[in-house]
Amino acid sequence: MKTATVTCELTITNQWRHYELIVIGTSLGGLKALTVVLNYLPKNFSVPVAVVQHRHKASDRTLVASLQHHTSLAVKEAEDKEEILPGWVYLAPADYHLLVESSNITASRPYFALSTDPPVTYARPSIDILFETAAEAYREKAIGVLLTGANQDGVKGLAKIKACGGLTIVEEPTTAFCPIIPAAAIKAKVADKIFPLEHISLFLVKICN
């Protein structure tokens, strides 16, 4: 896997810019947290959502079915070279890194790529990899959200989104099933907004719809 080489400069803009991608990262306790966030996103919510949930490499597609039960948006596992379309929730497949690639001569919009490169921060899929590649592709039009989790995967990636001018949101650690990831992001000072879990989707709807 090629490492990120693009250096992003901080862009100062107001919160009402037009966002085009939301990336969410979570680990331990993530299923419940994701159901809460997705449950409050309306059917007409048009900004695509890409999710990395740490899970066992042999896990099946039960996660898709579980999340679909709690949202009116369409949920699917992302596929290699699949264009990112509005109104969808994309999940990183088990045991694959999920990357965002910029549009090129054969693709009119950014698309996903899957990788079986070694785990990053002991995880595959890696939150950092999704966040860093999303930052490069979408820059100030990306929103990064870090939820509950038991390690520090995602903190570096959230910093990249912030450096590229995107918006960064972290779950309030006191509402997290496992506060380690949110607390690490707050300590690293990469969170633009810190919300209790139940308030995150309400804020996303406010700024995106």
Active-site positions read 27, 54, 153
Torsion of CA 30, 36, 204, 87, to 10 degrees: 90
Q: DSSP labels for 145-201?
A: EE--BSS-TTHHHHHHHHHTT-EEEEE-GGGSSSBHHHHHHHHTT--SEEE-HHHHH
- Degrees (nearest 5) of the Cα angle 100, 173, 188? 60
Neighbours of 207 (CB within 10 A): 16
Q: What is the CA radius of gyration of the chain?
A: 15
- Cα gap 195→21, rounded to integer Å: 19
User: What size, in residues, is the chain?
Assistant: 209
Residue whose C-alpha is closest to residue 139's, from 162, 108, 112: 162
In this structure, are residues 40 and 59 in contact, taking their beta carbons and an 8 Å threshold? no
β-strands 167-171, 21-26: how paired?
Answer: unpaired
